[in-house]
Amino acid sequence: MSEERAIAAVEATGIPYEVTRHGRVSSLAEAAAARGVEPRQLVKTLVVRRADDDFVLVLVPGDRTFSWPKLRALLGTSRLSMPDPAGARAATGYERGTITPFGSTTAWPVIVDSLVSGRISLGGGAHGVALTVETDDAVRVLDARVADISDDESA
């Protein structure tokens, strides 16, 4: 089961973590409240395709939107896309809405938005499951690149 894979992967890193289980949620605010964090601490993990069978995982604060121009500039490419749900699952082993960089079936490069900080809550491999970790720990164990890759949601 995907949830066990995600939990085993974060456990194997040796970093402190918490698992939160809650029912399905219908909004960012509801998810943040269920996980006991602020909306900015609820971090979305997005799968971005650079080329056929070449992806990056992008972590963005829940209250911000991912910036295509910023990511294209960072990666030095003019073409990026999001896979469909089946493609995202094939790339990570996780269903959309549950994706986490911990335990992805392929260890894709991870890019963390520079505004992600402190205690964060990520997908946990199944709906209603979250992994809470410290950003610095996640960046270190995932060998993640930190960069400005988001915009204000209201922009």
Closest to 59 (Cα-Cα) out of 127, 130, 145, 129: 145
The pLDDT of residue 28 is 87
Beta bridge partners of 59: 45, 112
Strands 18-21 and 145-147: unpaired
Neighbour count for residue 109 (Cβ, 10 Å): 16
CATH fold of 2-152: YbaK protein (3.90.960)
The pLDDT of residue 19 is 96
The pLDDT of residue 131 is 97
Closest to 60 (Cα-Cα) out of 109, 100, 130, 116: 116
**Domain extent listing, the chain:** 2-152
Q: Given a cut of 70, is residue 94 above it in pLDDT?
A: yes
Q: What is the mean pLDDT of residues 70-76?
A: 96
Integer Cα distance of 74 and 97 in angstroms: 25
The pLDDT of residue 12 is 97
Q: How confident is the model at residue 152 (pLDDT cuts 50, 70, 90)?
A: confident
Closest to 4 (Cα-Cα) out of 98, 86, 83, 87: 98
Q: What is the mean pLDDT of residues 40-48?
A: 95
Q: What is the mean pLDDT of residues 56-69?
A: 95
The distance from CA 51 to its chain's CA centroid, rounded to whole angstroms, is 20
Residue pLDDT, tens place only, 104-143: 999 999 999 999 999 999 999 999 999 999 999 999 999 9
Percent of the chain with pLDDT over 70: 99
